[in-house]
């Protein structure tokens, strides 16, 4: 038989299954209990974040995502904190990773790859206009929604324009080696804009070819290939697509094609539709520091609620005499050592009503989740009468209550059943 479920709530969100897990974070599906909207909640352990000195990185990720409100970027709805956890409430994207699409189906047709690349450039251009550089663009960080639209995710390695040094460049080497620009590897500083564009070029190559342009078992050889842009496009690519890839994967960031030039490229422009959205949203960054504070006033409420065990068809059949389900709920059936009845009342209300009915009859009540044990403090013919009850969920608005004699006299059990005002 199905066991009771534990329902966990964080503020107004009811948490569900785990949909992703990393070293410092877990992502769980959740639902807004007020609106019914599905979301994804990224849960970070405060102790691990502090121990690994990641506070500034997490704050930067939160600030970055709050600044970016674009149809092709995963949306951050809100940030919450408890005593031990940080919760990022994110847009739930149903379609999975673009990476999985390539792994499962191989290279894409040019028109399909073009659509994703157009949306990627739209998102990256918008990020750059807000002073945000992703620095880890790859197919694994590109999600697809239920309509097949691309969504850029995972800004954990992103940089803000505030991090640019006096020379106007970024200096932290980061990202996934196969997608990293040559200037990032040479450790002399780089422009976040042109570095992100290089990664976009590698992604476009992977979409059209089905494999990486730069790959080698030796890290040093791989870096050499990237530094000199040693790659060749497959023969099945059109000349226009090959030309665009070559202009993006230019090892010299100064002569590398820019976003305005990409937007005017003949291959890119086919069927291009610029995104329509509100670019003037006001962003409040005040809650970023609040989630790291120890003060209770800044903490969201975390709750764990037991749910009644759910019954499926096989459970119901196994509990029914002669496989006739009607026997389960027949109020006129002869009472023996147990009986069952249904109720449309909420499970918590059923438990309360049973308790209210039992106490005037001299029963001590012990409750655990949706199970109860009623013990009559006055001994009867065969000792103290014990009654066990349990509430099961049959349907979202229908519960079944099982009442059975656990100990004592059966006749006394019958008298209690007939005299009590059961729910």
Judge whether residue 217 has pLDDT over 80: yes
The better pLDDT of the pair 411, 243 is held by 243
238: three-class secondary structure by DSSP:
coil
Q: Is the pLDDT reported for residue 83 higher than 80?
A: yes
Q: For residue 220, give every residue at least 6 positions away whose Cβ sits within 8 Å of its Cβ, in sequence order, or none.
A: none
pLDDT in tens, 394-419: 777 788 888 888 888 877 887 777 66
Rounded Cα distance between 134 and 136, Å, is 6
Does 159 have pLDDT greater than 80? no
Could you report the per-residue pLDDT of 248-274, keeping only the tens digit for each? Answer: 999 999 999 999 999 999 999 999 988
Contact 203, 117 (CB under 8 A): yes
Predicted confidence at residue 97, as pLDDT, reads: 85
User: Half-sphere exposure of residue 209, counting CA atoms within 13 Å on the CB side?
Assistant: 18
Place of tokens 């992502």: 27
Q: What is the Cα–Cα distance from 132 to 135, expressed in whole angstroms?
A: 9
| Sign of the alpha-carbon torsion through 64, 11, 45, 40 | negative
Q: What does each C-alpha distance from 61 to 79, 149, 159, 279 come to in angstroms?
A: 11, 23, 8, 20
CATH topology of domain 98-276: Transferase(Phosphotransferase); domain 1 (1.10.510)
Q: Which of 3, 30, 11, 70 is nearest to 301 (CA)?
A: 11
Q: What pLDDT band is residue 150 in, cutting at 50, 70 and 90?
A: very high
Closest CA to 68 of 259, 285, 263: 285
Sign of CA dihedral 215, 221, 227, 231: negative
Nearest by Cα to 340 from 328, 332, 349, 322: 328
Q: Is the pLDDT of residue 228 over 90?
A: yes
Higher pLDDT, 247 or 342: 247
**101 known ligand binder:** no
Least Cα distance to 113 among 228, 46, 205, 27 occurs for 205
Q: Which CATH superfamily is domain 7-91 in?
A: Phosphorylase Kinase; domain 1 (3.30.200.20)
Q: For the chain, what is the total number of helices (H) and then of strands (E)? A: 14, 17
pLDDT for residue 231: 94
Question: What's the confidence (pLDDT) of residue 321?
Answer: 47
* Catalytic residue flag (residue 136): yes
Topology alike, domains 7-91 and 98-276 = no
Percentage of residues in the chain having pLDDT higher than 70: 78
Highest-confidence segment of 121-135, 248-262, 346-360 = 248-262
For residue 170 the two structure tokens come to 């970024």
Query: Model confidence at 326, in pLDDT bands (50, 70, 90)?
Result: very low
The rounded distance, in Å, linking the Cα atoms of 68 and 243 is 31
114 burial (CB, 10 Å; 0-12 / 13-18 / 19+) is buried
Mean pLDDT along residues 103-124:
94
Res 251: pLDDT: 94
Q: What is the DSSP string of 366-384?
A: EEETTEEEEEESS-BTTBS
Q: What is the mean pLDDT of the chain?
A: 80
- Which of 45, 111, 125, 136 is catalytic? The answer is 136
Residue boundaries of the structural domains of the chain? 7-91, 98-276, 307-419
Residue 160 has phi, psi (to 5 degrees) of -105, 160
DSSP alpha helix (H) spans, 130-218: 182-185, 192-209
CA proximity to 419, closest of 367, 390, 376: 376
The Cα 277–Cα 299 span in angstroms is 33
Residue corresponding to tokens 């438990």? 351
Q: What is the pLDDT of residue 162?
A: 42
- Angle at which helices 110-129 and 192-209 cross, to 10°: 170
Domain 307-419, CATH: 3.30.310.80
Q: How far is CA 299 from the centre of its chain?
A: 21
Q: Does residue 95 contact residue 144 with C-beta atoms inside 8 Å?
A: yes
Q: Which helix (H) or strand (E) element contains residue 395? A: strand 386-395
| Pairwise pLDDT comparison (24 vs 11), residue with the higher score | 11
Of residues 422 and 89, the one with the higher pLDDT is 89
Average pLDDT over residues 200-221: 93
| More confident of the two residues 160 and 90 | 90
Strands 76-81 and 85-91: antiparallel
Cβ partners under 8 Å of residue 166, min gap 6: none
Q: 357, 343 in Cβ contact below 8 A?
A: no
Lookup result for tokens 């918008």: 126
Reduce the DSSP state of residue 185 to 3 states and report it.
Answer: helix
Confidence at residue 206, expressed as pLDDT on a 0 to 100 scale: 95
pLDDT at 75: 87
Residue 227: its pLDDT value, please? 92
pLDDT in tens, 161-202: 444 444 444 445 555 789 988 988 877 777 888 999 999 999
Specify the pLDDT at position 123: 92
Could you give the percent of the chain with pLDDT greater than 90? 25
């Amino acid at each position: 038989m199905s066991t009771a479920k534990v329902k966990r709530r964080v503020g107004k969100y009811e948490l569900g299954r785990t949909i992703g897990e990393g070293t410092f974070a877990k992502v769980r599906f959740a639902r807004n209990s007020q609106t019914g909207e599905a979301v994804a909640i990224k849960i970070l352990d405060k102790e691990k974040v502090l121990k690994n000195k990641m506070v500034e990185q997490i704050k930067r990720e939160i600030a970055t995502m709050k600044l970016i409100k674009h149809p092709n970027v995963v949306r951050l709805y809100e940030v919450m904190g408890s005593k031990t956890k940080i919760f990022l409430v994110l847009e739930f994207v149903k379609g999975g990773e673009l990476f999985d699409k390539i792994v499962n189906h191989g290279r894409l047709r040019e028109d399909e790859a073009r659509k994703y690349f157009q949306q990627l450039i739209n998102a990256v251009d918008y990020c750059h206009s807000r002073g945000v550089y992703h620095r880890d663009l790859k197919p694994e960080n590109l999600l697809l929604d239920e309509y097949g639209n691309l969504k850029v995710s995972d800004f954990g390695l992103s940089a803000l324009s505030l991090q640019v040094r006096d020379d106007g460049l970024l200096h932290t080497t980061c990202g996934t080696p196969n997608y990293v620009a040559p200037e990032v590897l040479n450790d002399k500083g780089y422009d976040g804009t042109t570095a992100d564009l290089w990664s976009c070029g590698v992604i476009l190559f992977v979409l059209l070819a089905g494999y990486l342009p730069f790959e080698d078992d030796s890290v040093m050889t791989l870096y050499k290939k990237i530094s000199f842009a040693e790659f060749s496009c497959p023969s099945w690519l059109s000349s226009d697509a090959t030309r665009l890839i070559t202009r993006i994967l230019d090892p010299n960031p100064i002569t590398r094609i820019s976003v305005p030039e990409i937007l005017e490229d003949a291959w890119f422009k086919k069927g291009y539709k610029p995104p329509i959205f509100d670019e003037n949203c006001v962003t409040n960054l005040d809650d970023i520091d609040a989630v790291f504070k120890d003060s209770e006033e800044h903490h969201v409420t975390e709750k764990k609620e037991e749910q009644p065990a759910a019954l499926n068809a096989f459970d119901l059949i196994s509990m029914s005499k002669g496989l006739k389900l009607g026997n389960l709920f027949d109020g006129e059936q002869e009472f023996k050592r147990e009986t069952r009845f249904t109720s449309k009342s909420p499970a918590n209300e059923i438990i309360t009503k049973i308790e209210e009915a039992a106490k005037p009859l001299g029963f001590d009540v012990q409750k655990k989740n949706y199970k109860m044990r009623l013990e009559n403090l006055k001994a009867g013919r065969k000792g103290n009468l014990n009654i066990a009850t349990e509430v099961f969920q049959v349907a979202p608005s229908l519960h079944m209550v099982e009442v059975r004699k656990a100990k004592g006299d059966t006749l006394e059990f019958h008298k209690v059943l007939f005299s009590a005002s059961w729910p």
